[in-house]
Amino acid sequence: MKIDARGLSCPQPVLLTKNAMDDNQTNFDIIVDNPTALNNIIRFVSKQKGETKVTEDEGCYTITVSK
């Protein structure tokens, strides 16, 4: 599953991440386009004891979330 959170204001990228995790998605990608959203998602996932892997491409970050 891939969630496109590019161009969304705070806190929607992290809220979409939370919704996916609440839906018991254990492995998904979320794309964001700013470091604030990136940091917020990494912090949230780490608090939920999940793992993140980040790849950057032309100012966009794809965060692979697994739990």
- Of 21 and 55, which CB lies nearer to another protein in the complex structure? 21
Burial level of 22, CB count in 10 A (0-12/13-18/19+)?
exposed
Figure out which of the listed residues 24, 27, 43, 56 binds another protein, where binding follows CB under 8 A.
43
Is residue 18 within the footprint of another protein (CB under 8 A)? yes
Sign (positive or negative) of CA dihedral 52, 58, 20, 46: positive
- Residue ranges that bind another protein, judged by CB under 8 A: 1-12, 14-16, 18, 20, 33-36, 39, 43-44, 46-47, 59
